[in-house]
A and B are shown apart, each in its own frame.
Chain A
Amino acid sequence: GQSLEQPSEVTAVEGAIVQINCTYQTSGFYGLSWYQQHDGGAPTFLSYNALDGLEETGRFSSFLSRSDSYGYLLLQELQMKDSASYFCAVRSASGGSYIPTFGRGTSLIVHP
């Protein structure tokens, strides 16, 4: 099976930089995704890493190290609207289906 570990909660101040880590255990690893979910809202896709390295999309960046089974989401120039839950998800081959398995999520609280 698959398992993912991420911190349950992270707090930071507006304008700061925060990193949310994700470690995973899986067989047949295919890629690591990140999703954002505001309270009561739908999860929305942020990024995907299939290869080692850093992917940058505006204020958000995502990193993957396949050899360490580790990734992180980096949020820069934090804004109040970034307060949300962030989920990492591993895509791996399961009986031929590439079904994402999600972590428990990290609640990010941004203070003024």
Chain B
Amino acid sequence: GAGVSQSPSNKVTEKGKDVELRCDPISGHTALYWYRQSLGQGLEFLIYFQGNSAPDKSGLPSDRFSAERTGGSVSTLTIQRTQQEDSAVYLCASSTGQGSEKLFFGSGTQLSVL
């Protein structure tokens, strides 16, 4: 596609439920990032994929969070047993490679945990 696509755009869930957030990066981009943005805050790094290398999971806040990237393209971020503090906008970004300074962001998924 023309840009980074994320779905759903909005997700409301109940505390304790699992959620899956999807990211379709720009075709050909080998690097993919997940960030989390709470209201009025900066972007908090979660996880990074680069090609076929092992992902950098150093930003994941707890073991309830996991992510995978299938076929070097689409990525899914899974949050198990959601908590109210997980409420935030989850942003996905892609770039042409590790050395590229320009990240292209999707519009994000607004997650609300009730």
Residue ranges of A at the interface with B (Cβ–Cβ < 8 Å): 4, 31, 33, 35, 41-45, 48, 50, 87, 89, 91, 94-95, 97-105
Contacts and interface: CB of A to CB of B under 8 A. Distances in A.
B65 interface: no
B101 A95 contact: no
A100 B58 contact: no
B39 to A, nearest CB: 11
Given A43-B91, A91-B101, A97 B107 contact: no
A87 B103 contact: no
Given A31-B101, A94-B58, A99 B45 contact: yes
A44 B105 contact: yes
Nearest to B99: A98
A95 B58 contact: yes
30 contacts: A31-B101, A33-B102, A35-B103, A42-B91, A42-B106, A42-B107, A42-B108, A43-B43, A45-B102, A45-B103, A50-B101, A87-B43, A89-B43, A91-B101, A94-B56, A95-B56, A97-B48, A97-B56, A97-B98, A99-B45, A99-B48, A100-B45, A100-B101, A101-B45, A102-B35, A102-B42, A102-B45, A103-B42, A105-B41, A105-B42
